[in-house]
Amino acid sequence: MRHIISMLVENESGALSRIAGLFSARGYNIESLTVAATDEPSLSRMTLVTRGNDDIVEQIKKQLNKLIDVVKLQDLSEGEHIEREMMLIKLKAAGPDREELKRLTEIFRAKIIDVTEASYIVELTGASRKLDAFIEAAPEGLITEVVRSGPTGILRGAKGLTL
């Protein structure tokens, strides 16, 4: 099963390599990892997507928690949560394809953010599956470049992942 693990991590230079190293050393699967600062300068927030059966994911969480740099950890997949990923996608847009791509962009509630005679750049935010669906739906041969942020997420409701 796919799990989204969200962590508050000490904003120390070695923290990222410790987490990445844990996954390679123990042979765990890692689909994406995003890191950025938070409102609290000493902490960064990491969102990590992994796949595995319950036992493996349980072990992954324990091993992550064991790292001294990991302050708090939450498996978003265990509760109601919101998942968002951003994609920038560059498409060949010439002749009749331009209209088709505009329609597709509207259907997905995406935005065209850069236009040339021969291309569009589309920005799309949503759950990863929605991004997959857009790529799927884009007419064949038109995709030049796909840039995805990897998912981030947050639990629904009033409670937060804080210190």
Partner 1 sequence: MRIQAAESIRTEDACVHSNLADRPAPTKTAETGVPDGAGANVAAAAPMLSGAEITIQALIDEGVEYVFGYPGGAVLHIYDALFQRGDAIKHVLVRHEQGATHAADGYARATGKCGVCLVTSGPGATNAVTGIATAHLDSIPMVVITGQVPTPVIGSDAFQEVDTVGITRPCVKHNFLVKRLEDLALTIRKAFFIAQSGRPGPVVVDIPKDVTDPNIKVPYVYPRDLSIRSYNPAKRGHLGQIRKAVEAMLDAKRPIFYTGGGAILDDAAAPLTELVRALGFPITSTLMGLGAYPMTDKQFVGMLGMHGTYEANMAMHETDCLIAIGARFDDRVTGKIEHFCPHAEIIHVDVDPSSISKNVKVQVPIVGPVGSVVTDMLGVLRESGGRPDQTALAAWWKQIDEWRSIDCMRYDRSSPMIKPQFAVETLYKVTDGDLFLTSDVGQHQMFAAQFYPFDKPRRWINSGGLGTMGFGLPAAMGVQLGHPDAQVACISGEASILMCIQEMATCKQYSLPIKVVLLNNGYMGMVRQWQEFFYESRYAHSYVDALPDFVALAQSFGHVGMRVEKPDQLEAAMREAFAMKDRFVFLDVIVDPSENVYPMICAGKGHHEMELPPTMSERELA
Q: Which strands sit side by side in the sheet containing 70-75, from one edge to the other?
A: 32-37, 43-51, 2-10, 70-75
Stretch that binds partner 1, among 31-39, 62-70, 99-107, 151-159 (CB under 8 A): 62-70
The values of phi and psi at residue 47, to 5°, are -125, 130
The per-residue DSSP string of 38-89 comes to: -SSTTEEEEEEEEE--HHHHHHHHHHHHHSTTEEEEEEGGGS-EEEEEEEEE
53 near partner 1 (CB under 8 A): no
For partner 1, the binding residues in 70-109 under the rule CB under 8 A are 70-72
Q: Is 55 one of the binding residues for partner 1 (CB under 8 A)?
A: yes
Quote the least distance from Cβ 45 to partner 1, whole Å.
14
Q: Does 58 bind partner 1 (CB under 8 A)?
A: yes
Note the residues at the interface with partner 1 (CB under 8 A).
Answer: 10, 13-14, 17-18, 21, 25, 55, 58-59, 62-63, 65-66, 68-72, 163
